[in-house]
Amino acid sequence: MDPLTHALASFTLQRAAFPRLSRAATLAVVLAGMIADADLLSAYFGPSAYLTFNRTYFHSLLAALVFGLLLTLPFFSLKPKSPETQISRATIFVAALAAALLHLVLDACQTSGVELLWPFSPHRFAFDWLPSLDLWVLGILLAGILLPAISGLVTEEIGARRKGPRGRIGASLSLAAVILYIVVRSVLHGDAIAALQSRTYRGELPRRVAAFAESSSPFHWHGIVETERALHDVEVPVGPGSNFEASSVVTTYKPEPSPALDALRTSAVARRFLQVARFPKATVEQTPGGFHVILRDFTYRVDFDSRQAQVVIDTDPSGRTVSQELIWVPNLRGWIK
């Protein structure tokens, strides 16, 4: 999820569940809900660092606990202005931890996934329910913050007395709406998966399928189907009146076995890439000096993330690796091979 959505979600959580926190404590909660995205800075150090750090160490349950503790520590040295306004450090810690965990939950609902159990397990949890930028979630959170603020101004203008902390009801309704929206998304995702699994593609049965969320509508999904000989790219409509046509797929055939592919499988760079790639696709091109192999993730068209890596390997005619490197995908939107 994008940093803005995480900030709004953390602020909404604070208003709904911990409305009496001070401004400093509220800032700490918002930071706790955003700090995991600091691993995005790894992109500036190259694709290898990005694959190593993005959605891994900082996006774990252990990291959420550490972030909660670190952002609570400053409050042990701060003295409240009056005993009546004192909020316990335990409450601030619980609020910060809740925001950090909310960050993990939202990111786990996406395609890239998160390594929740690091350092005990490298498994990535990715439910594919939400897109990288969900305009619906963003709109719900903004409405839950802005509408109560506008309503409060009107209430103050007419001199009415406000009951309870400002914005708590709106924030609570906003969080409930986001939870309901994610539940609906999960149900529709299951429908999309069932539709993909129930068809044949170019005469072949699916071996693996995935349905990825699109920001425009929860009723429109992007499907990837792997069969024995090919990868298939297909749009999947779900919901009332939807009509899924498996014949409209865009098919990309897998390369034939070759010494170049054997070199790819034994490459340390490729093995590192395959730990992250959901649907890896190799392209083999014969050159005067041997073979040029490119390995990319076939799901690149889903979120148009500019930070996508690819493996490039050159071999001699016998398949012996001459060079191997991990680089950024150039002109990502234009790659349709």
> What pLDDT was estimated at residue 227?
95
% residues pLDDT > 90 (the chain): 64
91 within a domain of the structure (yes/no): yes
Q: How many domains does the chain have?
A: 3
The answer to whether 253 touches 172, Cβ cutoff 8 Å, is no
Q: Whole domain around residue 285: which residue ranges?
A: 256-334
% residues pLDDT > 70 (the chain): 88
- 129-143, 245-259, 304-318: range with highest mean pLDDT: 129-143
Hey, what amino acid is at 9?
Answer: A
163 within a domain of the structure (yes/no): no
On whether both 246 and 321 belong to a single domain, the answer is no
On whether both 295 and 199 belong to a single domain, the answer is no
pLDDT band at 136 (very low <50, low <70, confident <90, very high): very high
> What pLDDT was estimated at residue 115?
96
Average pLDDT of span 125-136: 93
Phi-psi region of 151 (alpha: psi -120 to 50; beta: other; left: phi over 0): alpha
On whether both 194 and 301 belong to a single domain, the answer is no
Q: What does pLDDT average to over the chain?
A: 87
On whether both 212 and 299 belong to a single domain, the answer is no
pLDDT tens digits along 144-193: 998 876 665 444 444 445 555 778 899 999 999 999 999 999 999 999 99
134 within a domain of the structure (yes/no): no
140 within a domain of the structure (yes/no): no
pLDDT band at 336 (very low <50, low <70, confident <90, very high): very low
On whether both 28 and 97 belong to a single domain, the answer is yes
Q: Which long-range contacts (CB under 8 A, 24 or more apart) does 320-324 make?
A: 320/263, 321/263, 321/266, 321/267, 322/289, 322/290, 324/267, 324/268, 324/269, 324/270
190 within a domain of the structure (yes/no): yes
On whether both 69 and 120 belong to a single domain, the answer is yes
pLDDT tens digits along 205-264: 999 999 999 888 999 999 999 999 999 999 999 988 788 877 778 999 999 888 888 888
> What pLDDT was estimated at residue 150?
67
Residue ending a domain, among 110, 127, 144, is 127
On whether both 231 and 275 belong to a single domain, the answer is no
pLDDT band at 333 (very low <50, low <70, confident <90, very high): very low
On whether both 2 and 117 belong to a single domain, the answer is yes
Q: pTM of whole model > 0.75?
A: yes
pLDDT tens digits along 253-306: 999 888 888 888 888 899 989 988 999 999 999 898 899 999 999 875 545 455
On whether both 266 and 246 belong to a single domain, the answer is no
63 within a domain of the structure (yes/no): yes
CA atoms within 13 A on the CB side of 184: 14
> What pLDDT was estimated at residue 303?
52
pLDDT exceeds cutoff 50 at 72: yes
On whether both 191 and 275 belong to a single domain, the answer is no
DSSP state of 204: B
What is the rounded CA–CA span in Å between residue 27 and residue 29?
Answer: 5
Average pLDDT of span 193-201: 93
On whether both 263 and 322 belong to a single domain, the answer is yes
Residue ending a domain, among 252, 282, 304, is 252
26 within a domain of the structure (yes/no): yes
The answer to whether 178 touches 137, Cβ cutoff 8 Å, is yes
71 within a domain of the structure (yes/no): yes
On whether both 222 and 263 belong to a single domain, the answer is no
Residue ending a domain, among 127, 153, 170, is 127
